[in-house]
Structure formats: C-alpha cells, structure tokens
C-alpha cells in the first residue's frame, strides 16, 4: 500500500519530469528551426528524438486530453475550447513537420532504414517542412502562453525546493 508521503513524492517526481521535459522540448523546437546552427546531422537526429519527447509530453497530459475529448460536445469555457483547438493544431503541425522531415531526410532515416538517401532533394516536401516548422514555432509559443500559469507554478515549486535544499 502506498504511503501518503510516497504519493506526494511521486507527484513531485511527475511534476519535475514534466517541467524539464517541456523545457527540453521548447529548446529542441528552437534549435530545430536553424539547420546551420545545429548542422544537418544533429538536426535530423534531434528531430527524431523530438518524436519521443512529444509522445512523452502527450502521455503526461493524457488525463487532460482524454477527459476533454470525451466531453467534446459538452459545454466548456471559451478558454478550454480555444486551448483544445490550439493543441490539436499544434499536434497536426508537429505530425506534418515530422512526416515531411522523414521524406527529405538525408542522414538519420537512411542510417535507420539502411537505405541510400535520395540523391535529388524533393523541394516540395522541403518547402512544406519549412512552412510547417514555422507554424510549429508559432503554435508552441501560443501553447506556452495558454499554459503560462502552470509553467510559473511548477517552476516556483521546483526551484523553491532546490533553494530550500541549498539553504
């Protein structure tokens, strides 16, 4: 049987994991916007790593996603509805950017699949990848704005504990 202390500990662990994962995801999204800054090899492997990070981010938020999806037609506040539509658009844009990225991959996907990278770049996929990446950055910014109170509260809780531990 779980002790109350254990439960609080696991809750704090979950909060910490979510906070740092989201921070890492935000930094990765920024780093992925500039290929010369990271180089093509890091860009492609980081892009593939983001799939795992985004999947974990969705798992951590699964209770919210499932509860609001089940009551999709019920009356929700305007804020909840806008948040849901924004999240859906962000999910679609991330899926599109990953798919188009896989289509034009020259380094990571050929290594994983053991195939030879395409000799001629498909510029249509490349242009789509670029446009969707811009959309992801914009929607990620709005996503942060929507969840700003959570970011502040979680940050305060985590760093207060760190500071208390130092003192």
Which residue ranges make up the site for other proteins (CB under 8 A)? 26-27, 29-31, 33-42, 78-79, 82, 107, 121, 123, 126-127, 130, 137-138, 140-142, 144-146, 148
Nearer to other proteins, 11 or 153 (CB): 153
Shortest distance, CB of residue 145 to other proteins, whole angstroms?
3
Shortest distance, CB of residue 46 to other proteins, whole angstroms?
11
Best CA proximity match to 87, nearest among 52, 129, 136, 33: 136
Nearer to other proteins, 18 or 38 (CB): 38
Nearer to other proteins, 56 or 140 (CB): 140
Shortest distance, CB of residue 82 to other proteins, whole angstroms?
7
Q: 3-class secondary structure for 73-131?
A: CCCCCHHHHHHHHHHHHHHHHHHHHHHHHHHHCCCHHHHHHCCCCCCCCCHHHHHHHHH
Nearer to other proteins, 59 or 121 (CB): 121
Shortest distance, CB of residue 40 to other proteins, whole angstroms?
5
101 φ, ψ (degrees, to nearest 5): -65, -40
Cα–Cα distance between 19 and 140 in angstroms, integer?
Answer: 15
Nearer to other proteins, 52 or 123 (CB): 123
Cα–Cα distance between 103 and 11 in angstroms, integer?
Answer: 40
Contact 124, 112 (CB under 8 A): no
The tokens of 1 are what? 């049987």
Shortest distance, CB of residue 162 to other proteins, whole angstroms?
23
């Amino acid at each position: 049987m779980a002790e109350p202390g254990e439960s609080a500990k696991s809750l704090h662990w979950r909060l910490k994991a979510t906070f740092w994962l989201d921070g890492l995801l935000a930094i990765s999204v920024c780093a992925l916007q500039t290929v010369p800054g990271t180089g093509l090899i890091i860009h492609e492997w980081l892009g593939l790593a983001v799939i795992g990070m985004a999947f974990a981010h969705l798992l951590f938020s699964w209770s919210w996603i499932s509860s609001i999806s089940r009551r999709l037609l019920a009356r929700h506040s305007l804020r909840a509805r806008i948040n849901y539509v924004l999240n859906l658009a962000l999910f679609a844009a991330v899926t599109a950017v990953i798919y188009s990225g896989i289509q034009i991959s020259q380094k990571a996907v050929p290594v994983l699949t053991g195939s030879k990278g395409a000799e001629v770049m498909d510029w249509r996929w490349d242009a789509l990848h670029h446009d969707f990446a811009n959309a992801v950055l914009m929607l990620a910014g709005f996503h942060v704005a929507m969840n700003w109170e959570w970011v502040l509260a979680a940050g305060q809780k985590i760093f207060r504990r760190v500071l208390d531990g130092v003192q």
